[in-house]
Structure 1
């Protein structure tokens, strides 16, 4: 077949078009293949991204068929993804029946109404927490009202959320409890903002400042602590916040209308603000003051004790030692500044010889160190080299310390030895006394007795050893009394001495003729002493003395009558002789011759002298008998002495004796018997004239002293020896042969002494042979 050119052209054009189409199709196919590969890669990439996505999709069709990746089966604990939604309950795995029902109901509601939902499930025997969000699927994904469920695994988030919720609940509870605690706290508490303004206060703060409520405190910024030295509490809080350090101070504040000591603390809370609280320490400060006062009083008291006391702390260091302890162990004065440990204290005491000698001192020191850990007080006796005996008591303290007490018993031991000696001496003294002694207790029991007590009553020794009561003794001695009833008087004396603390005595007579005198004497220790003395001989002597005394009284009465008669019998004849002689001298009987006149004058002189002697004898006799009458009157001493001295002017001039009178009116006036004082002074002057040689010197001085007047009469005569002076001051005495004793001065000095003593004064005489005699009269001034 031949083709025409036109057909060939058409065929060529067809072939060319077919080639071009084929090339176009090939190119298009290549382009589509590239897109498919790209789509396949995108699909694999999106599939991988979906696998790595934290959410897993689940497509649920209206008929219950489901489509989901295998990862959802792993989350639910299934081996593979089932075909239907009802198969998600795998009995032992998957969702529980209740969870599956809730999920089915939600999906069914979404299919019908399109309502989205959110659920949370925990598969069986799994700790996963799965959240489900369901909604209608887009028509591009699935048609026919399919539901698309996204499953999220939020196990970690759920645990963290649960933990946060628990912590939040716990924090909320703690905060509520803290707020309640702060509100109920008895101490004022507050919180300040970062600008140091009050933001929160508790009820104690409100009550302390006397406000109505917390709102008023915050609104008015009522401060509890007043400014101190211009610095307010807010400034202190700001300072604590800036330094980020708590500030604690002790100040005084008004609390409940009372000034109290408070410990205030400001605690910075970062940038939030500053918290503060105030603790009332007034009671604690008061206790501290009381404790300090107690410690000071205790130290002062311990220093006053005679017992040494030292305290060691738990570190075995000396914290206190009173003065007696320091003296006993010769502690240095610098102990208050230097730390003195217990071992060092023992070393120092040993160096000073204030510890007992021991063979192994280190071992002994270690034994002393166990005092700190012993559970009971320890007691030891130390004998030092100087003879000091110390009683040591170590009292461990609960805090690990030790109180050491050192008592110097040297004096007590010496007193004990002295007491033993005194007891032995008392026993020996009791046994050596002539009296019978017995000591009875307040209950009447015999305590002590001497040998004569049993002997005087004739009691057996065995009876005394049993310490019988007074009643048993009275039964034994009752048969020996003339009147047995008198034994009760002895018992009453014992009871009066022991119980009534009164002394009582009496006498009893025995059947053998003896007379016993007894007395009950209370003793300082509460016992009573019964002393018995055999007064038989004394009673006989007393009877004899009583008879003699009656005779002496009768003789004294006779003497008194004799002196009264002699005073009359002596003076009456002398008065008659003196009267008749004066009549003869006056010429009443006629003119007398010269010789007769001399006789009459001699008679008058002798009468005057005899009258003076009789007066002296009578005065001396009456003075010795206590019958001398003294009639006192006011006497000015200076005129009295001047007149007395002038009376001796002729006698002084005759022997050429100088008399020096030294007196002034300051002597004043005293009450004396002028006549008898004149006689005493005259006797002293007569004695001085008789003892002073020619051209001699007599001194009479008078001086008033405190409460007395002192008169001195002295001469420069021959003087007397002590024996002669003693005899001169004695009265009229007889020698052994019955003759009157030879005297130098007669009765003048004894009479002068008697007269001066009758005035309540005294006469003192000092004499030395060749130097003279000095007589001193001391008269009281009333």
Structure 2
């Protein structure tokens, strides 16, 4: 303001100087208007305007304008200064009033011990005010000497609260997040730390709690701790895999976890509570309620149906203030294991009872805890005495009184030595020789939980067997040494363990060298001069040293000296392998001769069949011509014949027909043997087939006065086959039966159904077939005419078997000498299914 007034003053002085200069220069006159007499400036201006010429007036106008502006500015500045002074006085009064209010509020704010820390916006330097001695410990430097130490929370707070305060302050400064913490300082003071973001500043107020606020803070801390503990327990209950629940005093559900909801097939825990779904059945719930009312506690293993499956749960419940709580732990596996353990113990007990060895278990107090029936029988002890759990000494005293223990000179010392097993670590074995001649093997085994287990075995017979076994071994040794076969035994390691003299003689080996137990490879090298076949020796080595595939190996060895040996390996139970060699040179020569003879016979048989086949074809053509001319001559159109000529012509016709049948049979057999015979399958009427077969033997039945008895099962409708061949089979069977039956006999033909087969059986009253010849009746040209009135070529039964087997059936001959013969033929009903199965 003083600067403005000074400028105005200098402007006025400049104007006055200018006016004076103009007056001194004669530019101003005294002719001033009357209206300007009161105002010297106006008068002066008028005078100047009057006295100056136009040019001068322009110049003066400009000067006056500047002067007027200066004067006006000076006036405005003066008025502004006056208002500014008044405003300054008013502001000073308001500042004094605000300062007084601030002092009053500050006094009210710090009337209780507290510390205020503020962080202005954009400034990381905090402003600390208040009583820092509330927080900082007295360390000799003074409470106010280092107020910045308040921000080092770890100096006046324990580690965990200091970390909590640090995180809260960082969140306040970074994100403006408010907080309210109740903490306890390292000196034991309860404080409240409150952080707020106000007016662009972050404010932290720390004050000591006392009185009601301290009690409220303590209650808040306890409430938070209880709340956290409750939430943790609730979370545990929710996550627990066992059903957990609480009930009100009225018995309604108050809380259940997810496992309870799953066990009761509820949609959720809330659904189970709202519907009051029960986990246990009514009887178990009643028992639980009665137990809680009587003892305030319930524990039992109960069956519970969970998702349709019956399981066992260990249910525990407690009576609490205002209700009850319970938990069910799935113990199905434990129950199953317990039952399995009980069953195993029973099985072990039953197993021990079945043992021939006597077993007695004495506990750590040396009292009988268990015995099996073999133990009681071995010592002939009273069951009641054993069931009374006598001590070890009492049992020994009773056995000694009955003279069932070894007779010792100092029985007390012997018993004390026996009882050392209770303090021993390893099992001990001994043999007791009793006065009655028995030898008892005893094994004392200390138990881990204390006590001793006695195992008794009557080895009297075993010792006797050992003696006899030794004698038997000597006998076997002598027998082995006198065998003609070469025998050698090789162990599982491939080394020779046993051999007889025949082995050394057969391979020209040294008995002393074999006594050193050489390996099979060494023995092989010794034997190679006589037999050098690497494949055979490899097979023998594999059989002797092999582990996985232990099997018999049969080889025929032809040595260089012409000897033929039969070699055989046999695995022995102890892992060893027995190797035997037998000289079969003579047998091999005889077998070779027999084989050559058999091949010659087979060749002759093939030549015979081929010869018959070709001859039959060659005979058939002229025979057909003869038959044709015989029929032509018997025709009346060719002219009359004498009685003798007709008789001779009848003989020719009969003979040629018989010869043609024989030739046809031979050709059929040859075709079957060559695999060229095929069947013309179709449905066969059994009755019609029998009628066609019997038609050809009617004259023979009438001539020999033989009755044909036919018995056909009416349930047989027919079967599938070649009707012509079936008729041929039946004709040959009937003709054969009629030929071997005496006059006025009965030939029986029976047809039965057996499953999926039709069975034809023909029985004659002939002399029967010798058992030595039964296997040859189906061979070609085998004719056993003993007891028969005719002699045939021996092709009928051979043809029967061939045709039946071609149908997939079978033929059986049952005969008793002097009582007749029964030939049975079986045909499958469905030939198509039979052929598909065969394919």
Q: TM-score, normalised by structure 1?
A: 0.53
**Structure-2 change in CA distance of 1:384 and 1:584 (3 Å):** farther
Equivalent position to 1:700, from 737, 749, 755: 749
Residue 75 of structure 2 corresponds to which residue in structure 1?
none
Of 365-374 and 316-325, the range deviating more from structure 2: 365-374
Residue 470 of structure 1 corresponds to which residue in structure 2?
520
State whether structure 2 residue 692 is matched by structure 1 residue 633.
no
Of 529-538 and 564-573, the range deviating more from structure 2: 529-538
Residue 486 of structure 2 corresponds to which residue in structure 1?
436
Residue 754 of structure 1 corresponds to which residue in structure 2?
798
Residue 230 of structure 1 corresponds to which residue in structure 2?
293
State whether structure 2 residue 361 is matched by structure 1 residue 311.
yes
Question: CA separation in 1, counterparts of 2:706 and 2:362?
Answer: 93
**Structure-2 change in CA distance of 1:327 and 1:618 (3 Å):** farther
Deviation at 1:301, TM superposition (A): 1.9
Match runs of 1:89-108 below 5 Å: none
1:655-703 Cα distance to aligned partner (Å, 9 max, x none):
5544332213534545555445434432332344345556543332111
Match runs of 1:583-602 below 5 Å: 583-587=632-636, 589-602=638-651
**Structure-2 change in CA distance of 1:548 and 1:263 (3 Å):** same
Q: 1:720 touches 1:767 (CA, 8 Å); kept in 2?
A: yes
SS in 1 for 2:660: helix
Equivalent position to 2:506, from 437, 456, 460: 456
Aligned residues: 516
1:80-137 Cα distance to aligned partner (Å, 9 max, x none):
xxxxxxxxxxxxxxxxxxxxxxxxxxxxxxxxxxxxxxxxxxxxxxxxxxxxxxxxxx
1:615-639 Cα distance to aligned partner (Å, 9 max, x none):
456667888x787946373444343
Gaps of 5+ in 2: 1-224, 232-247, 250-287, 302-312, 320-328, 835-839
Residue 246 of structure 1 corresponds to which residue in structure 2?
none
Equivalent position to 1:609, from 647, 653, 658: 658
Question: CA separation in 2, counterparts of 1:700 and 1:345?
Answer: 84
**Structure-2 change in CA distance of 1:780 and 1:391 (3 Å):** farther
Residue 55 of structure 1 corresponds to which residue in structure 2?
none
Question: CA separation in 2, counterparts of 1:622 and 1:680?
Answer: 16
Equivalent position to 2:453, from 400, 403, 406: 403
Q: 1:661 touches 1:701 (CA, 8 Å); kept in 2?
A: yes
Residue 200 of structure 1 corresponds to which residue in structure 2?
none
SS in 2 for 1:230: helix
Equivalent position to 1:570, from 619, 628, 631: 619
Residue 763 of structure 1 corresponds to which residue in structure 2?
812
SS in 2 for 1:666: coil
Residue 445 of structure 1 corresponds to which residue in structure 2?
495
Q: 1:474 touches 1:487 (CA, 8 Å); kept in 2?
A: no
Residue 175 of structure 2 corresponds to which residue in structure 1?
none
**Structure-2 change in CA distance of 1:425 and 1:210 (3 Å):** farther
**Structure-2 change in CA distance of 1:670 and 1:452 (3 Å):** farther
1:269-315 Cα distance to aligned partner (Å, 9 max, x none):
xxxxxxxxxxxxx9xxx999989975763453243243442222355
1:448-503 Cα distance to aligned partner (Å, 9 max, x none):
2233221111112111111112233233333445xxx5368525631354236377
Residue 115 of structure 2 corresponds to which residue in structure 1?
none
Question: CA separation in 2, counterparts of 1:732 and 1:251?
Answer: 94
Equivalent position to 1:301, from 331, 343, 348: 348
Deviation at 1:729, TM superposition (A): 3.9
**Structure-2 change in CA distance of 1:427 and 1:595 (3 Å):** same
Question: CA separation in 2, counterparts of 1:660 and 1:745?
Answer: 21
Gaps of 5+ in 1: 1-205, 213-221, 234-248, 265-281
CA RMSD of aligned residues (A): 5.3
**Structure-2 change in CA distance of 1:465 and 1:592 (3 Å):** same
Deviation at 1:505, TM superposition (A): 6.8
Question: CA separation in 2, counterparts of 1:727 and 1:521?
Answer: 38
Question: CA separation in 1, counterparts of 2:770 and 2:795?
Answer: 19
Residue 499 of structure 1 corresponds to which residue in structure 2?
546
Match runs of 1:717-756 below 5 Å: 717=765, 719-720=767-768, 722=770, 729=777, 744=788, 751-756=795-800
Residue 661 of structure 1 corresponds to which residue in structure 2?
710
State whether structure 2 residue 605 is matched by structure 1 residue 560.
no
Deviation at 1:227, TM superposition (A): 9.4
Question: CA separation in 1, counterparts of 2:699 and 2:435?
Answer: 87
